Structure 1
Amino acid sequence: MGDLNLISNQPQAADVSREGKLKPVMPEPYNKKASQSVEVTSRRNSLANNTSRESQTCTGRLMLGRPASTFHQPPINFSAVSEGLYRSSYPQTQDYPFIQSLKLKTIVTLVKKDLPDGYQEFIQDNRITHTIFDMTGTKKEDIPIDMMRSIYAVVSNRENYPLLIHCNQGRHRTGCVVGVIRKSTEWNVKRIIDEYSAFAEPKVREVDLKYLAEFELSSLLRPSQALASPVSARRFYRFALVVFLALLVFYPLSKFKVQEPHPRPY
């Protein structure tokens, strides 16, 4: 599994206002009532606009120095998550020229269905590694942790970059995976939910918000990895030391009593 700290923790669009000024980020935990308020709705709409602007800026950078005739529009909900890591909806035929400009090594697809016309040929021609995960789209149940572990192992590994992750619309399934990535880079819950909501509007799913708010990074570690981790090893040795000292203190002192020598007969 890739290093949890490999992904950049710099926000892409979540904390930039229309005037280009940084907005303060409040680290409050997720609150269901607050997420349904007019104030939060306003922030989501503003964030969606900022995200769209950031996506366009990223596209402009990618096309910098190229003739105007080679410019192509990105897929719906395209955005840079971090350097070399992108998200979007399912690429369609008209999106292939833009996708090609990213020089991708890997595409991670979070839905299993028939590939669009020419998609397999496009992937093969550009020597892209294509990994498909059959993630349910109804969200009637949580994402299986084994599936999220496998997805994260691919997406967090910089050897697979540049990498594009997508589902059908680039909203819910992609948003959950990106949210887990943000947690690994120590984004607070409010920022993660705001980013998810900006892409998921107008169909923000409460079950996804709950999943992101309650997701524990420790669950990404398999039991064998957790036992072998340096943190677990240090805890084991500390525990063993405490037990040893306790035995020294509470073990009956009589066991260590030295027998007094008997007097010698004259």
Structure 2
Amino acid sequence: MGDFNPVSNQPLVADASRDGKLKPVMPEPYNKKTSQSIEVASGRNSLTNNASRESPTCTGRLMLGRPTPTFHQPPINFSIVSEGLYRSGYPQTEDYPFIQGLKLKTIVTLVKKELPDGYQEFIQDNRITHRIFDMVGTKKEDIPIEMMRSIYAVVSNHDNYPLLIHCNQGRHRTGCVVGVLRKSSQWNVKRIIDEYTTFAEPKVREVDLKYLAGFELASLWYQPQAVASLGTVRRFYKFVIVVFLALLTFYPLSKFNVQEPRPRPL
């Protein structure tokens, strides 16, 4: 029998990363299709790990003239978030064939740095729209709400799917964005934290947990600039009314030159 997590009593599976460590499977999401998609991703990652471990055997089969199966390697921490939406760490050259099979329309990168060799050419050749957000590491500072609004507007728009969202390791920045998406899909906080932890281990950040637990969905649509502009207009009209009333109250009526009608000659 397989190993089990002593805390959640859930089976342990190979992580999507390349370290081969065992981690608990994510809690069952509300969407059945999402759950099935995650299982498919886990199966692909298991095939990848098996392929890397059996590389000497595959070489021997090739020498014997037998056909050798070809496995496309997914990026580190790759998984399916929902139908048409994927997450991972930063893709490397050896990951491009796997990514190409996803037939992506959009890639959202949550870190601004020099692109790996051939990444720009790969994106252009596959006609992928590349959106880069210069998000500072969550350990250094909070995610500005304006940035999260911009990212959410892209990753929640199904017109941009299939879409891959990634940062460096696919743990913290990506985990926070996916967590916000889960909140908008009515996941409860425990499920969101469990999913974040699954991908962030062994470097779970308390600042991220606090961010996800306290994030208010209303802040995604609340526009303080628009409210401020409306308030400015209201204050202006109030000022005009006050000035007008003051003039009526304090300006002497005697100053008004009212001419009495002249009597008509007989």
| Same fold? TM cut 0.5 | yes
Residue aligning to 1:39: 7
The residue that corresponds to 1:74 in the other structure is 74
Aligned: 1:48 with 2:16: no
Is 2:43 the partner of 1:57? yes
Counterpart residue identity of residue 50, structure 1? V
Unaligned runs of 5+ in 1: 1-17, 20-37, 61-66, 228-266
Structure 2 equivalent of residue 171 of structure 1: 171
Give deviations 1:120-174, integer Å, cap 9, x for gaps: 0000000000000000115232100000000000000000000000000000000
Cα offset, 1:224, TM superposition: 7.5
CA contact 1:111–1:136 (8 Å) conserved in 2: yes
**AA in 2 matched with 1:77:** N
Structure 2 residue aligned with 1:210: 210
Q: Aligned AA for 2:23?
A: A
| Runs of 4+ residues deviating >6 angstroms | 42-47, 224-227
RCO comparison, higher one (Cα < 8 Å, 6+):
1
Q: 1:225 to 1:160 in 2, by over 3 A?
A: farther
* Distance (whole Å) between structure 1 residues aligned to residue 118 and residue 111 of structure 2: 17
Q: Unaligned regions of 5+ residues in structure 2, if any?
A: 14-21, 27-37, 47-66, 228-266
> Who is 1:97 aligned against?
97
CA 1:175/1:95 → structure 2, altered by over 3 Å: closer, same or farther?
same
Over 3 Å counting, the alpha-carbon distance change for 1:205 and 1:224 in structure 2 is closer
Amino acid at match of 2:43: T
Residue in structure 1 matched with residue 156 of structure 2 by the alignment: 156
User: 2: CA distance between counterparts of 1:160 and 1:196?
Assistant: 24
Tell me, in whole angstroms, the C-alpha distance in 2 between the residues paired with 1:182 and 1:212: 10
Q: Give TM-score scaled by structure 2 length.
A: 0.63
Confirm or deny: 8 A CA contact 1:109 1:131 kept in the other structure: yes
Q: Paired residue for 1:185?
A: 185
CA shift, 1:219, in A, is 0.2
Write the deviation string for residues 170-194 of structure 1: whole angstroms up to 9, x where unpaired.
Answer: 0000000000000000000000000
Q: CA deviation at 1:50?
A: 2.3
Q: Which whole-Å CA distance do the structure 2 matches of 1:44 and 1:213 have between them? A: 26
Aligned residue pair count: 186
Q: Distance in 1 between matches of 2:136 and 2:11?
A: 25
CA 1:138 to 1:213, structure 2 compared with 1: closer, same or farther past 3 Å?
closer
Percent identical among aligned pairs is 75
**Displacement, 1:57?**
2.9
RMSD between aligned alpha carbons?
3.0
Work out the CA distance in 2 between the residues paired with 1:149 and 1:44: 36
Given residue 55 of structure 1, which amino acid in structure 2 is its aligned partner? Answer: A
Between the aligned partners of 1:184 and 1:153, the Cα distance in structure 2 is 12
Residue pair 1:44, 1:197 contacting (<8 A) in 2 also: no
Distance 1:200 1:185 in 2: 21
Match status 1:128 vs 2:128: yes
1:39 maps to a residue whose letter is V
Deviations 1:190-212 (A, max 9, x none): 00000000000000000000000
Q: CA deviation at 1:225?
A: 10
Corresponding residue for 2:114? 114
Quick one: distance in 2 between partners of 1:89 and 1:214? 25
CA distance in structure 2 between the aligned counterparts of 1:128 and 1:189, rounded to whole angstroms: 33
Return the alpha-carbon distance in structure 2 between the equivalents of residues 171 and 118 of structure 1: 24
Secondary structure of 1:39's counterpart equals: coil
Q: Deviations over 1:76-107 (max 9, x none)?
A: 10000000000000000000000000000000
TM-score, normalization: structure 1? Answer: 0.63
CA distance in 1, matches of 2:87, 2:25: 16
Conserved 8 A contact 2:138-2:172: no
